[in-house]
Structures are given as C-alpha cells and as structure tokens.
Structure 1
C-alpha cells in the first residue's frame, strides 16, 4: 500500500467501521460520497477477510474504479467463533461478539497508519463507528487530527438511547402517544448483557470526538434530529445527517445463479408492485420450526414473493462450514409456489431488488441498512424486528413515518410467529386498502429522499457543508 505523500492535501479522511456487514456497508458507501468531493483521499480500515467480503457484496458502484479510495485490511488475533444458534431464546447474534472484541486489536495498526497519514495533510479526519472508539483513541497525540463518531443506527434509536427525557419527547411525535408503551421504546431484550458492556465501553471514547454523523435524512428524521442537536451542542459537538449513503439511482444488474436465472431476471417477468421481498439481513437465524411457519404463511397468502433463505453471517467467515445452509422447507413447497415465488439461498442483491418496479413491499427485520434502503427506494415495510436497534426502527417506520405495518407486537418477540400471522401481515400490505395507503406514503417519502441527495437537495447541501467544515 502506497501512502499519499502530497503535502498539499487539505484533508485526508480515514473511515474505521466495525467489521460486521451492516456497519461496514454503510461506511463503504460514505467513502464514495466523500471521495467525489475535491478528490479527497479516503482510507478505509477493516479486517482482512471482512473487508474483502464487504467489497464483494457492495452494490451500485465499484470501489476498484475510484482512484482516491484506499483500503487497509489488517489481520486480527484468532478468536473462538461459535456458529449462530437458531434455537436461542434471545435473538441477539451473540456469536458475533468475539469478532467485535477481536477487532479492537486494530488499535495498533490503525495508530501506525494515522501517524503516517498525519504527515501528508493539513488536517486528518477520522470517522469511526461508535463501536470502534477504542481503536482510534491514539489520534489525541496528533496535533492535526480530529474524530467524528458515526452511528450506524437511526437517529430515533439514538434519541431513545440518549435519555429518558428525550424518549418522553418522542411520544409527542406520534398521533397516539399512549401506543408507545415502555417495551416499544426501551432496549429490553434487544442485547445480551455482555454486548451492552461492550457498547458502553466503546461509547466512552465518543467524548473525544468533534461531532456525530448519521446515515439518515432530514426528510425522514428532522423532528428527532431537532431533539438530538441541543444534546450535541451541550457537549460542544456538531451533528450531521448525511444519508442515505447508499446509491439511490440504481442501474439494475443481472445477477447470475447456478440454475441460470437470478432474482432480478425473475422480477422482470412480474408486474408492478406485485411482489413482496422477504429478507432478514445478515444477523438473523431462524429455527427450523419458524422457517416452516414462514413458508406456510407465504404460500397461504397467495401473494408473489422473493424469499432469501440463508443463515446469519459467521464471525469467522473463513470457517469451511457452509454459511448458506439448506434448510428443510415443507415438502413440495418450492414446486407448489414456483409460478409466484422464488427462494434465494445465496447472497441477494438487495438494492437491485428494492429498486425494481415489481417490488411492492419488503418483509424485513428492520436493520437500519434495510430500513433506509427500502425508504429511499419508496418501498413499504412489513416490520419483523429481532434484536438491537431493530424494535426501535420498527416503531419509527410504523408509528412515525407510517410507511410500514408490524408482523406482531414486540412484547411477543420470544414466541413462535405463526403462519396465519405472517399470512395476514403479507395480505394486509399487498392486498388491502390499508396497504395501498401505506405504499403511497412510502413512495412519496422515497421521492423526497431521492430528491434530497441531488443538486441543491437538503442532504446534498448538508454533505457539502460537512466537506466544507473538514476542509476549512
């Protein structure tokens, strides 16, 4: 790796994501947005295997085609990497915690890189995941360095996490404040106690940062950002809403499958707004019993669907055990639904799928990547949160933005979700007047969000303001 040595650089940017796909993906997209301004050199840090995987999964642009984005992939110490447990009562992916802990060992190679880069620029800007604060802590020894904490979740979720007072103010944003029961706006059952300790330890380093960056849009979360900005100001920090980071004008790509056809090609044969996309992200593993209920619910709904059936990502992706395991679907299921359903067992091109005009809904775990991608494409959501910030995001999309409906109440999150519940949720979105109204709202917000990232749009102007600030 050749380090840029042009001493005339006004600024060099370093991005330090947590090496989980939902976090890496967002900062990879941000690297593209920053790199297009004044040819700012952008350096992206990751672990060797996870960085490579994230680049292979990336959609909408090719990182190898941008000359001023530089990738630094470092090894981390070996760690015990348990497989996902589909039968755990707590759906949090605790099998990924050893990876997160091991990633904190990036501190020393990152410190070495920061010292080298600091000699090539007037200002060194480090944007780090809120869960990688300890990795960048040595920046304080560099006189020309400053950091910004990136939150990979919604502003809504951070507002709830910030204080009970802010949580109470959020109640005023919905038509029926009493519907926001305590279990909906708390983090009960969302994390393991071990991961809570990890979060709190990493968030301590946010005190050293100059500001906070969100992958969100003021079109979507202006009232919540209005609550967070005074909090940031009291801590002498700036706040930036620069999302959506993901490309919003997707050129559809043909994605080959072993049997010769991909989900995009299949969607090309369907009519507008008739297909529901069913996918639960990179950290969800269902029990065999739940998989069968999903299959039966989709079949009985009589709606067209694409269903991504895959296990959660493993912490150690070099593990030779096949991650895309073949679950046992009900006997004859794929044959019975072949004229209106497609089962995808490998990595699916989510942005391409959500951008397709045939897609009329998205059954999702409500990870923030999935939420903001769906909203930016104008696709309504059937919300089925599992853990972490997902229950909060489900409240945001159902109660505040009103572009989604719930599969089931969060208070029943440890129970099996029945086929009839899944069937009813799909039919409500795809085949009812209520669903059509939700779809219209989602389409309208999607148009406004896409407009916001174009010239003179509110997000574009905020990004230009951020670039102006770091190149001051």
Structure 2
C-alpha cells in the first residue's frame, strides 16, 4: 500500500481556482483541538489552497512544537497568524456578568472576536472567497464572518460523531432507531461530565450555531458511519466525515531525538502499554502512587507520560512534573527494564505507531482515540471529564476495541493498583485482549484504505468541490 503520509497533489482541482480561495482555520486553544485542525490545514494545503491557521502566539508555538508525523516545511501554502486578544476593558461584546460565570481562560478566548473579525475583513479583500473552518468551541468568536460578503463558515467537530449525535439528541429530542437509542439513553448527563464554567461557555457557542449549513468530522464512515448518517437526519444538514486527519502511517518519520524510541526498539512486538491522560489532566499524588504500583505489579512493559496538565492559555512547550512516586520506584523500573517514564511532552502518534506498543491506557479524548484506532492499538479506558465518558462507551461497548479501567459511575473513588494491574494484563496478556487487538487492527486497515482512496478521500474531495463550486 502507498503511504498516506505522502499526500498526493490533487490534480482534479484547478490550482488557479484554489489559490483564489483562502482557508482560515480557527482552532479552540487546547492541544486536543489544535492537533486535528493543524492536520486539516496540512490536508487542505495539499490542494494548493492558501491556509491561514489562527491562534495566539503561545498556542501557535505549542501546535508547531508538538506536531507529529509530518513537517510544516513540506506545505508552503500554510501560514500561521498570531492573534492579539483585546483587553477586557475595551471589549463591549462580552458582558461582565458572563465573564464572571466562565472564568479567565474562556474570557480570553472571547476577547479574540474582534481580532478575528479584523483579520477576516483584511483577508477577504485579497481573495475571491474566504472559507472559515472553526472548532465548534469557537463559534461565538467567528460569528461576525457571515456579515462579510465573500466569507462563509463551516463547523469542525473535534468530538466523535457518536458523542455529537448524543448531544444533538438531547437538543432536538428526535427519536433514534434501536439499538442506538438504548445505548445513548444510558450515557451520563452533561452535568456529570462538564464543570459549570464549561457548560456556560458551550451554551454560548450553541447560540451562534445557526451560521453553519454543514459540519466536518475528524472521523470516517468505516468507524462511525451509522452515527454520521443519524447526525445528518438529526441536524438536517450535510455532515462530512473527512478523518482521521492525523497521518495513518508513520513510515520513516518519527522524532528520533526522543529517548523513548531507543528503549521501544528493544521491546517485543505488542508487548508495551502506553500510558497517557492527555494535556488537561493532572492526577493526584495518591492516584499516581496506585498507578505506579499497578503498572509494576502487572509485569508488563510500559511507557508512562507523567506530566502536569497544560496551563490554560500559557506556554506549554515544556511542562515537567515533580510528584511523589513510591520510594525507589524509578530506579527499580529502570533496573528491571520494565518501563520508561517521560515527565514532559512525548510524540504520541509515533509512539502508538511503534510495533512494540500493544495497548494504550488513555483518558479517551477523541484525538487520542482516533490516533489509537489509526495505529491499530486497543485502549484501556480511563475517562476523566467532558466527552471522554461517552467516547469510552463507543470504544468499549460499540466498537469493542477496549476495556474499562475507571468506571464512570465510581469516578469519585481511587482507582486501585489491583484494578490497574488487572486491566493492563487483560489488554496485553489475555485472549480477550488479543481479540480486541485483532478487531482494532481490522478497523485500522479499513481506515487506511478509506484515507487512501475510500470514503474519507471521497468525502474530502467532495468538500473541496463544494467550497470551490
């Protein structure tokens, strides 16, 4: 099979025409949202569109530093634009009462509304048409785009289609067919998974959603076809499944400078579990201790990314952690050759793509889920917040490519070392775990074909034809 990493040039799209249409990408400013939209920028750039990736100076720097699987220099039509937020005192668009409800980080995002409008006004005077593709969580700050005559907006979902469908059903109250209806009925309510500030912020985004006629998803029909179709019925508009947007084969590209690869190269096929809980979670010292003991007692090889959560709105290129691991733990692990502990950022996609990695203990953010599926790695699910509990249901009960470590119903309890040990052994060393691995490899193979010349490729070509027509 040809390598999907080597993106083809899309000769069927007239280069002169695409160069007259500017694509403006507006990501939500957290890592799990930056990644897929940066990958979408890469893909659109391969059609010869000029692509402008908007963010703050720190979020753009972070996105480029943590890039996995490709090189920005290979895509010369990509451009980064640093937005400078307004000062709160000079912005009349954000009521003081709202700022008090949503906190400083969400407020800092809302203060990007005027800088985004000004950028769109400037860019729209240069190009025949301007296409804005924004994260769902940035709907409020791009709403002025529709007042500019040659600008149009498209909504990008960084959550799974399954989760998007469940949210849509809560809003529309439209019935669903069995067994989807029964599965979604058992999902936890939003109030149990989102904090109050986030709920207020998301409510504000929903109020601005009537500017969209279509939606884009970082998924494909081979993974979520039934949910994409049902979502179209719920929303009565086109939903394009154009993912996975991350490279689905790493090939020879990987961050050789990272020390973990020298260790991984020495391990047996599918023998290592990769442990990471994303960029928005810091475990308590007590939970870190239980996790450390559980990994050690399992006897399985592991790579553990043990780091602090990103500081919201801050410079997160390096975020080390000092934590209370059991006394002598790191030395024991090193002497046994049992594990590799990384206390800063690690190149997740390349790690998941390594042949020695046979499992992923994950918080089940959708970006991590789709990367794991792409690389054919089953998941030990440890949901923390937001859409993660719903993604866990998709992974474990619908796709059946993972098992549960942290039961959401008992989320307030400490996850014991014994439970962790059993979950790791089940995923890596059992017949059931091997069956999960075989299933996810089959899905991964279908996904790779989809990206090369199947449904995702056709969906992407269809979307490009739509915006150039």
TM-score by length of 1: 0.88
Equivalent position SS for 1:337: helix
| Cα separation, partners in 2 of 1:8 and 1:245, compared to 1, 3 Å | closer
> Does residue 159 of the first structure (1) align with residue 157 of the second (2)?
no
> Does residue 52 of the first structure (1) align with residue 92 of the second (2)?
no
Pairing of 1:48-447 with structure 2 (within 5 A): 48-76=57-85, 98-164=104-170, 169=176, 172-173=179-180, 177=182, 182=186, 184-233=187-236, 237-250=237-250, 251-256=252-257, 262-318=259-315, 323-338=319-334, 339-447=337-445
Alpha-carbon distance in 2 for matches of 1:433, 1:208? 50
1:86 matched residue in structure 2: none
Equivalent position SS for 2:142: helix
279-288 vs 184-193, greater mean Cα deviation: 184-193
Alpha-carbon distance in 2 for matches of 1:268, 1:78? 50
Summarize deviations over 1:151-209 as a string: whole Å, max 9, x none. Answer: 110011111111247796376149xx5x7773x34324211122101001012211111
The one of 21, 24, 33 equivalent to 1:11 is 21
Alpha-carbon distance in 1 for matches of 2:316, 2:39? 27
1:99 Cα offset (Å): 2.1
1:246 Cα offset (Å): 0.5
Does structure 1 conserve the Cα–Cα contact (< 8 Å) formed by 2:383 and 2:406? Answer: no
| Alignment RMSD | 2.3
Alpha-carbon distance in 2 for matches of 1:424, 1:330? 20
1:253 Cα offset (Å): 2.1
| Cα separation, partners in 2 of 1:289 and 1:381, compared to 1, 3 Å | same
Number of matched pairs: 439
Alpha-carbon distance in 2 for matches of 1:302, 1:97? 44
1:123 Cα offset (Å): 2.0
1:311 Cα offset (Å): 0.6
Summarize deviations over 1:213-261 as a string: whole Å, max 9, x none. Answer: 111111000111111011232xxx321111101011213424435xxxx
| Cα separation, partners in 2 of 1:340 and 1:270, compared to 1, 3 Å | same
Alpha-carbon distance in 2 for matches of 1:52, 1:344? 21
| Cα separation, partners in 2 of 1:358 and 1:318, compared to 1, 3 Å | closer
| Cα separation, partners in 2 of 1:199 and 1:332, compared to 1, 3 Å | same
| Cα separation, partners in 2 of 1:67 and 1:208, compared to 1, 3 Å | same
Alpha-carbon distance in 1 for matches of 2:316, 2:247? 31
Alpha-carbon distance in 2 for matches of 1:153, 1:169? 20
> Does residue 24 of the first structure (1) align with residue 34 of the second (2)?
yes
Alpha-carbon distance in 2 for matches of 1:166, 1:228? 13
> Does residue 43 of the first structure (1) align with residue 52 of the second (2)?
yes
| Cα separation, partners in 2 of 1:319 and 1:373, compared to 1, 3 Å | closer
| Cα separation, partners in 2 of 1:50 and 1:196, compared to 1, 3 Å | same
Deviating 4+ runs (over 6 angstroms)? 165-168
Equivalent position SS for 1:363: strand
1:104 Cα offset (Å): 1.6
1:450 Cα offset (Å): 1.1
| Unpaired segments ≥5 residues, structure 2 | 1-15, 89-101
Alpha-carbon distance in 2 for matches of 1:460, 1:335? 48
Alpha-carbon distance in 2 for matches of 1:293, 1:334? 14
Alpha-carbon distance in 1 for matches of 2:397, 2:207? 31
Does structure 1 conserve the Cα–Cα contact (< 8 Å) formed by 2:389 and 2:408? Answer: yes
TM-score by length of 2: 0.89
Alpha-carbon distance in 2 for matches of 1:9, 1:144? 15
Alpha-carbon distance in 1 for matches of 2:19, 2:391? 39
Alpha-carbon distance in 2 for matches of 1:213, 1:15? 13
Does structure 2 conserve the Cα–Cα contact (< 8 Å) formed by 1:45 and 1:71? Answer: yes
| Unpaired segments ≥5 residues, structure 1 | 1-5, 80-95
Equivalent position SS for 1:434: helix
| Cα separation, partners in 2 of 1:319 and 1:213, compared to 1, 3 Å | closer
Does structure 1 conserve the Cα–Cα contact (< 8 Å) formed by 2:62 and 2:316? Answer: no
Does structure 1 conserve the Cα–Cα contact (< 8 Å) formed by 2:366 and 2:388? Answer: yes
Does structure 2 conserve the Cα–Cα contact (< 8 Å) formed by 1:97 and 1:195? Answer: no
Does structure 1 conserve the Cα–Cα contact (< 8 Å) formed by 2:131 and 2:467? Answer: yes
1:459 matched residue in structure 2: 456
2:97 matched residue in structure 1: none
